[in-house]
Structure 1
Amino acid sequence: MAALAVITGVQGTVDIGTSRREVGPRVPQDWELTGSGGPRPFVTWRTYRLPDQSSYLWESRHHRKGVGPRTYPDRLGLRTRARGEDHSTKSPWLRFWAPHRLAWWIATIFVVGSVCFVAGAAGSLVPGAFGGHHRMSLFAETCYFVGATLYTVSIYGQILETLNADRAIGPDRRSHAPERFRWFAFELRHLEFLVPFVLFLGSLVFNYETIFALGSSLNWLPELGLWTTSLLGAVLFLVSGFLQFIEAGHGYVSFDPRNVSWWVGVLFVIGSVGFVIGALPGLGTPGLPTSESYPGALIVKIGFLVGGVAYLAGSYLMLPELFTQLREHGRKAS
């Protein structure tokens, strides 16, 4: 029987034995729910009226980025002061250091992984710089292998971030961390879980493709469905990017250029489209030249280069996104 713990004065229960939980935050019982919405059937925002007649807005992505889980030492209180947690007027675009936040590691590792994809695609455009196509292929496939591995690590971090975000909000508007850290669960009703979960599946497919592509370049492994898995991974990335876009925009169609989270979603969609286009010539898609001849080979390289650059830009934007939400949540709790 799963153990359940009830937080006094807070709606609902804290489930420490199963993955079941309600959509949205757990708030004090005297808070009145005044509205909720999102891309159906998902809920990505809720508003509450407090006893003092003030209001509180909860947004799924913004909440977990602003009050997402800390790293283990910081969670235990082993740090005397959390650097990067200063809610001052300093611009989020001028802040880059917050290693006590899991979201910081997610963004940073994603940036490095994206740099690897960009380097691999850019290198494939200039085989002469490596002394021939074989050496260029080894360089590019090594970059893709390292990039896909880093993506997988970062995406799993996103799953942990989702499962362990501070869900309970006290009467003082401050968020409270879960009593127990969760390493995995299936929460398919929650859009904030589906975003990294689908992306994680795509990264595992890319791991297979990059391992066998590098192995075949070294004559260690056979080429087994590499282009098919490349396209499948790209499609899963595209699905996740679209889910990220609708979560940030709270709808299937939105235009919010002043919202950095919206831009992260847009850039991840663009990056995924680039990966899809880069994989299509390898499948002999009707109407497109094959990857074995010009300009099909160029389409592959340009597609993955554009995709990598878009993912790099989107990954970088997750840093100012983090600091923006830290500042906003600091103001809410003050």
Structure 2
Amino acid sequence: MSAAARRANTWIGLLFAVGSICFVLGPFPGFVQRVGSSADGITFFVGSVFFTSASFLQLATTRLTGGGALDRWAAAIQFAGTLFFNLSTFEAMQDALDTSATDRLVWAPDAFGSVCFLVSSALAYRSVNGSFGRRRHRGGAMRIAVVNLIGSVAFGISAVASFVVPATGDVLDLAAANFMTAIGAAGFLAGAILLMPAVSSRRPS
């Protein structure tokens, strides 16, 4: 890997890591009660901005870092997903600024962003795994693809759990929505750390 590609991966990893930490903190038990719904909403929005920054850089440097056609599609779809998260977290932040209630769902991944992340992660996994289950790459690339796919699945489950039941106006499962958001973010955090060359170069393949 060239020095430029290593620098790009370092920045992508750092940006995704910061965003992931925000998404872990936001739904973490007791966090909203300690900081208030406004700060919690801001935490989610800031996390989405870091995700978008990382995703844009990843899309812009796909060729530089050795990505193929599937990787470019994965990066483009992921970037679209982060834009959906920007919109939904901004709306959640605005709502949180207008209320002091802490016993409610501040934010959970929206359906559109979650679908984009699922498709993107599936494409990235396919790119690494190859056709018919025959692995093209082992080691770090596979680990990153797997943990990111787990994170995307968890975000998808959170999106379903956060569905508002029309008859009652209540969230389908508040605890599950928060828990799976945190689990998904933890998966993305692991992938971000593994992406950083300083970490991946120390791990055996």
TM-score range, shorter chain: 0.7 to 0.9
More strand by share: 1
1:283 is paired with a residue of what secondary structure?
A: coil
Tell me if 1:112 matches 2:24: no
Q: Distance in 2 between matches of 1:307 and 1:269?
A: 9
Match of 2:103 in 1: none
- Runs of 4+, deviation exceeding 6 Å: 226-229
Q: Which residue of 1 aligns with 2:188?
A: 311
Q: State the structure with more CA Rg.
A: 1
The structural deviation recorded for 1:208 is 0.4
The alignment status of 1:148 with 2:52, answered yes or no, reads no
Q: Which runs of 5+ in 1 are unaligned?
A: 1-65, 71-97, 168-188, 221-225, 329-334
- Report what 1:130 is aligned to: 34
For 2:169 and 2:137, locate their aligned partners in 1 and report how far apart those are by CA, in whole Å: 36
Q: Percent identity?
A: 27
2:85 is aligned with 1:206: yes
The Cα shift of 1:299 comes to 0.8
What is the 5 A alignment of 1:234-245? 234-245=114-125
Counterparts of 1:112 and 1:102, CA distance in 2: 16
Aligned 1:213-224 pairs, distance under 5 A = 213-219=92-98
- RMSD, aligned CA: 3.4
Name which of 290, 299, 302 aligns with 2:176: 299
| Contact 1:141/1:214 (<8 A) preserved | yes
How many Å apart are 1:216 and its aligned residue?
A: 1.5
CA distance, structure 1, for counterparts of residue 107 and residue 132 of structure 2:
30
Tell me, which stretches of 5 or more residues in structure 2 are unaligned? 100-105
Partner residue in 1 for 2:102? none
Matched length: 196
Residue 275 (structure 1) aligned to one of 134, 137, 155? 155
Q: Between Structure 1 and Structure 2, which shows a larger proportion of helix residues?
A: 2
1:26-175 equivalences in 2 (<5 Å): 66-67=1-2, 69=4, 101-122=7-28, 125-126=29-30, 129-130=33-34, 135=36, 137-165=37-65
The residue aligned with 1:53 is: none
Q: Which has the higher contact order (CA 8 A, sep 6+)?
A: 2
TM-score (norm 2): 0.81
Corresponding residue number in structure 2 for 1:35: none
Match of 1:177 in 2: none
Q: Is the 8 A contact 1:104 1:322 kept in 2?
A: no
Deviation at 1:195, TM superposition (A): 1.4
Aligned partners of 2:187 and 2:60: how far apart in 1?
24
The one-letter code sitting in structure 2 at the alignment partner of 1:232 is F
Distance 1:279 1:166 in 2: 32
1:268-314 residue CA offsets vs partner (Å, 9 max, x unmatched): 1110111111111332479xxx8836x71101111101101111111
Conservation of the 8 A alpha-carbon contact between 1:68 and 1:103: no
What letter corresponds to residue 194 of structure 2 in structure 1?
A: L
CA distance in 2, matches of 1:203, 1:110: 11
Amino acid at match of 2:39: F
Find the aligned partners of 2:139 and 2:94 in 1 and give their Cα distance.
Answer: 42
Aligned counterpart, 1:332: none
Tell whether the 8 Å contact from 1:227 to 1:279 is kept in structure 2 after alignment. no
- For 1:153 and 1:128, the matched residues in 2 are separated by 25
Q: Residues 92 and 107 of structure 2 are in contact (CA less than 8 Å); yes or no, is this contact kept in structure 1? A: no
Q: Distance in 1 between matches of 2:114 and 2:32?
A: 28
TM-score normalised according to structure 1 size: 0.51
Measured against aligned partners, the alpha-carbon deviations of 1:116-147 in whole angstroms (never above 9, x if no partner) come to 1111121xx2268427xxx1x22322121111
